[in-house]
Amino acid sequence: MIRKRGQFFRMDTPNTTLVIDAERAETVYYGERLSGACEFSAYTGSGRRLFSVFGRSGGSEYSVAFFHSDGGFTADFSFARAKVSDAKPVLPDLPSSYGEGKTLELRYTDPAKLALHLFFTVFEDSDVIAVSAQLHNAGKKPVRLQRLMSLQLELPGAGYRIHTFDGAWGRERHETVHTLQNGTFVNQVSEGYSSHMHNPFVVAEGPCGLFGFNLVYSGNHKEAFECVGGVTRALIGINDAFFDWEIAPGESFFAPEAVVCFAPDEDALRLRMHAFVSEHIVRGRWKKRERPVLFNNWEGTYFDFDEQKILAIAAAAKEAGAELFVLDDGWFGKRDSDTCSLGDWQDNAAKTGGLAQLGEKVRAMGLEFGIWMEPEMINEDSDLYRAHPGYAMKVPGRTPVRQRHQLMLNLADERVQNFVVRAVSDVLTRSGATYLKWDFNRHMSDCYGKGVPAGEYFHRYMLGFYRVAAKLAKRFPGVLFEGCAGGGGRFDLGILCYFPQIWASDDTDARMRTDIQRGTSYAYPQSSIGAHVSACPNHQTGDDNTLAARFNVACGGVLGYELDPTKLSEEERAAIARQVAFYKEHRKTLQFGSQYRLCGEGVEGYIAVSKDEASAVAVVNALNVLPGQPDLFVRFKGLNPSCVYEVTRADPSAAADGETFLAGGDLLMHGCLPLHGLWEEKLAQHCSGGIVSRMYLFKKTKQRS
Ligand code: DGJ
């Protein structure tokens, strides 16, 4: 709800309130929801600006910067008008949130006939506020935009703890905390994709609570925090590195949408972010639909397979209860290694028997058929490159940087966009696939497109990618697209607007996945996180963990298996069948329930609670069990304190479950459940990875009086 009182606009979400002084362009208040009518006049004049420019706002990081064509670069915006409407701004070719809500549009004008529009959208059912910015040039000369941040929020005081989610291939989104007392802290990426290194999601933790920020964008991003004049300025938007965009007279530049959420603690922030993504970002047929349990052949075979092997894996997958078989890399052109054929999306029929037939055979087993592609890439050793070398992203006369032996396609070019749409459409139509894993295995380096100004390249690439993704999502509404980027290199809200789930990491080791999935699930719901059980020793770490531990960890996301089941023992296959049956039974809660992270000394895990609080599944992992250690313990979360639960030590991997006990929701949440016998369990496992993992199943028995 948005209410106006004089120059004040008050935006209420179910649990938060944001108050803006439109005329002064200031944030007056943002935090816990205020009750009743409020008088804000004593709180204005705090200097917490809604935007900042060089020379007039202090500091060194600004939300808007541009060069006029006369050589000046002064900006001097003053209030022009405010408007509340039911319509969200349309951001041409950019993904953005959707749903019923009100939007406040503030307009500030500069004497050079530039208009800065700031948009704030409040959804009735969400504590996340969506913010975007537009710079319109109503003058007669072009303006060179150097930066337009999507969101500026100035927080009172300094000393904020900034949480970022960082890593590399194989260890994405590990949480790091930096305390900012003075100066500037920047979380940014300038290699053309949201990246393995620094996710666009950041949190500023202050004395009143947490402010979570994210960007609906998959390219270069920047989240800057600067202590300036008694406030901490947060700026969220496209990275201005290599950015220089000409706005012609009569035209506008639209910054991608940013989102912000206030919450009193981490649990509330997670739940609010999850609810927002599930309701206002993910769309289409798969929005609330339970996601299938899949088997993917990548780690089971890599490039070394033929039709017979694939069908044997699919048959074993079916026997285990899988619903979808996914054929990964290596089915097309001459691709028996990663050195060739990207771009040649024609069948290697000698290897697979042809996609159409293979798809038919898999479906005849009672499985859906899914396929892997890497549509934005090209190998020089490909027919596509030989026919259209100009489709590749490279600078004429220079040797390009190759990564995994490949170049990128120049998606800033409409012809190339059309090629990709055609290629993907052909593969989906030919194979009848109902799932597509969309991979992206390198960073950008030799950015160049004929006729594309250098400073516009990165963003024009992203607009091209989004045009392609939007067309395909519309053309194939029934297909479940899973984003992937050399593991989890492009896990962001932009991707989730088109692809409802994303492969979180190539690292499937259970211990590594606990950190990766904990970091990822801070901002993104479990139904968006691809999580697979793989073979041991793990291909990334060389460590062993029990099948039970690997399964328990993978249940924290959308479950799949990434192995060759024909190489497993009868016993292991039977255990997997029990796991899959258990997962399906509790899938709704695991994928769409309220997920809380559990943590304590030496212990981590999660609990997923059904929406009606009647049942829950928890996983508790003891990561480093040592001899002579006192008992570790766990406190659960999210249960109904006035209900009694029957709690079972579930072990879907074994033939029978463990003990059962009764306890009230309040005791389960406030008491410390001792985890007896961890050391004995660890010794019995003989596993180098050493996680001791327990699963608990909660069923509500009665309401207490
Ligand atoms: C990287 C992905 O993350 C893997 O899962 C797999 O699909 C390979 N690419 C295939 O080349």
Task: Retrieve residue 404's tokens.
Answer: 């995994």
DSSP state of 402: P
Cβ pair 505, 170 in contact under 8 A: yes
371 lines ligand 1 (CB under 6 A): no
Phi, psi of 635 (to 5 degrees): -115, 130
Answer for the pair 367, 314: CB distance below 8 angstroms, yes or no: yes
Is pLDDT of 704 > 80? no
Check pocket membership of 482 for ligand 1, CB cut-off 6 A. no
pLDDT digits (tens, 9 = 90+) for 181-215: 999 999 999 999 999 999 999 999 999 999 999 99
Q: Are strands 174-180 and 529-534 parallel, antiparallel or unpaired?
A: unpaired
Query: 222-253: per-residue pLDDT in tens?
Result: 999 999 989 999 999 999 999 999 999 999 99
Helix (H, G, I), strand (E, B) or coil at 616: strand
Q: How far is the CA of 373 from the centre of ligand 1 (A)?
A: 9
CA–CA dist 324, 389 (Å, integer): 36
Closest to 462 in 3D by CA, of 480, 479, 447, 481: 447
Q: How far is the CA of 620 from the centre of ligand 1 (A)?
A: 29
Best mutation site among 171, 302, 329 for ligand 1 pocket (most ligand atoms within 8 Å of CB):
329
Vertex 495 angle, CA 514 and 247, to 5°: 135
Banded pLDDT at 65 (limits 50, 70, 90): very high
Any idea what DSSP says for residue 401?
P
- The set of residues, in sequence order, having a beta carbon less than 8 Å from that of 331 and lying 6+ positions away, is 347, 348, 351, 352, 355, 371, 372
Active-site hit among 506, 507, 509, 544: 506
Domains annotated for the chain, with CATH where assigned, are 2-280 (2.70.98.60), 291-503 (3.20.20.70), 596-703 (2.60.40.1180)
Residue nearest to atom 2 of ligand 1 (CA): 486
Q: What is the pLDDT of residue 325?
A: 98
Whether the CB-CB separation of 600 and 593 falls below 8 Å is answered with no
Average pLDDT over residues 24-35: 96
Task: Give the ligand 1 atom nearest the CA of 338.
Answer: 11
User: What is the secondary structure of 473-511 as a DSSP string?
Assistant: HHH-TT-EEEE-BTTBTT-SHHHHTT-SEEE--S---HH
Ligand 1 site, residue 299, Cβ cutoff 6 A: no
Q: Residue 705's pLDDT is what? A: 64
Strands 184-189 and 221-228, bridge-based pairing: antiparallel
Tell me what percent of the residues of the chain surpass a pLDDT of 90: 96
Span from the CA of 487 to the centroid of ligand 1 (angstroms):
7
Q: At what angle do helices 414-431 and 457-475 cross, to 10 degrees?
A: 30
| pLDDT for the residue 218 | 98
Per-residue confidence band for 272, with pLDDT thresholds at 50, 70 and 90: very high
Task: Go through 516-542 and write b for each residue having 16 or more CB atoms within 10 A of its CB, e for each that does not.
Answer: bbbbbbbbbbbbbbbbbbbbbebbbbe
Predicted confidence at residue 107, as pLDDT, reads: 98
Nearest CA to ligand 1 atom 6: 298
Classify residue 409 by its DSSP letter: B
Please check the confidence at residue 13 and state whether its pLDDT lies above 80: yes
With beta carbons less than 8 A apart as the criterion, state whether 203 and 210 touch.
Answer: yes
Cα of 371 to ligand 1 centre, how many Å?
12
Q: What is the pLDDT of residues 322-364, one digit of tens each?
A: 999 999 999 999 999 999 999 999 999 999 999 999 999 999 9
CA 265 to chain centroid: 20
List residues bridging with 598 in a β-sheet.
605
The answer, yes or no, to whether any atom of ligand 1 lies below 6 A from the CB of 372, is: yes
Work out the angle between the directed axes of helices 355-364 and 307-319 (0-180°, nearest 10).
20
The finding on whether 554 has its CB within 6 A of some atom of ligand 1 is: no
* pTM exceeding the 0.95 threshold for the entire prediction: yes
CA distance 54 to 65: 7
- The finding on whether 298 has its CB within 6 A of some atom of ligand 1 is yes
Question: Which residue's CA lies nearest to atom 10 of ligand 1?
Answer: 329
Give the tens place of pLDDT for each residue, 433-449. 999 999 999 999 999 99
- Cis peptide bond prior to 264, omega within 30° of 0: no
Contact predicate 528/251, CB 8 Å: no
Q: Is the minimum distance from the CB of 441 to ligand 1 under 6 angstroms?
A: yes
Q: Cα-flanking dihedrals φ and ψ of residue 558, to 5°?
A: -90, 115
Annotation marks residue 93 as catalytic: no
* 506 pocket-lining for ligand 1 (C-beta < 6 Å): yes
* CA-based nearest residue to 171, from 559, 486, 396: 486
Statement: residue 429 has pLDDT above 80? yes
Half-sphere exposure of 330 (CA within 13 A, CB side): 21
Q: In what order do the strands lie in the sheet with 643-650?
A: 594-600, 603-609, 615-622, 692-703, 643-650, 660-664
Distance 486 CA to ligand 1 centre (A): 6
pLDDT tens track for 656-671: 988 999 999 999 999 9
CA 579 to ligand 1 centroid distance, Å: 25
110 is catalytic: no
The Cα-based distances of 692 to 228, 503, 539, 563 in angstroms read 47, 25, 20, 22
Whether the Cβ atoms of residue 95 and residue 493 lie closer than 8 Å to each other: yes
**CA-372 nearest atom, ligand 1:** 7
- Cα 118 from chain centroid (whole Å): 25
Identify the burial level of 180 via C-beta atoms within 10 angstroms of its C-beta, where 0-12 means exposed, 13-18 middle and 19 or more buried.
middle
675 lines ligand 1 (CB under 6 A): no
Confirm or reject: Cβ of 89 under 6 Å from ligand 1. Answer: no
**CA 565 – ligand 1 centroid, Å:** 19
Residue 437 alpha carbon, nearest atom of ligand 1 = 7
Average pLDDT for 369-386: 98
Q: What is the mean pLDDT of the chain?
A: 97
For ligand 1, the distance from its centroid to the CA atom of residue 403, given in whole angstroms, is: 14
Residue nearest to atom 11 of ligand 1 (CA): 329
Average pLDDT of the residues in 487-508: 98
Report the distance separating Cα 218 and Cα 444, nearest Å: 13
Determine whether the shortest distance from the Cβ of 540 to ligand 1 is under 6 A. no
Nearest ligand 1 atom to the CA of 328 is 7
Contacts of 345 (CB under 8 A, 6+ apart): 332, 333, 373, 423, 424, 426, 427
Q: Nearest C-alpha to atom 1 of ligand 1 is from which residue?
A: 486
Please name the amino acid found at residue 39.
E
CA–centroid distance, 374 to ligand 1, in Å, is 9
Q: Hey, which residues does 65 pair with through a beta bridge?
A: 147
Tally Cβ neighbours within 10 Å of residue 14. 13
Residue 88 alpha carbon to ligand 1 centre in Å: 37
pLDDT digits (tens, 9 = 90+) for 83-111: 999 999 999 999 999 999 999 999 999 99
Centroid of ligand 1 to alpha carbon of 194 (angstroms): 17
- pLDDT tens for each residue of 553-601: 999 999 999 999 999 999 999 999 999 999 999 999 999 999 999 998 9
Task: Count H helices and E strands in the chain, helices first.
Answer: 14, 38
Catalytic residue among 21, 240, 439, 515: 439
Asked if the model's pLDDT at residue 37 lies above 90, the reply is no
Cβ of 484 below 6 Å from ligand 1: yes
Mutate to test the pocket of ligand 1, among 294, 328, 331, 508 (most ligand atoms within 8 A of CB): 328
Residue 328 Cβ < 6 Å to ligand 1:
yes
Region 173-177 average pLDDT = 98
C-beta 329 within 6 A of ligand 1? yes
Cβ partners under 8 Å of residue 216, min gap 6? 94, 95, 96, 97, 130, 256, 257, 258, 259, 281, 492, 493, 494, 497
Cβ of 564 less than 6 Å from ligand 1: no
Question: What would the pLDDT profile of 640-661 be if each residue is shown by its tens digit?
Answer: 999 999 999 999 999 898 899 9
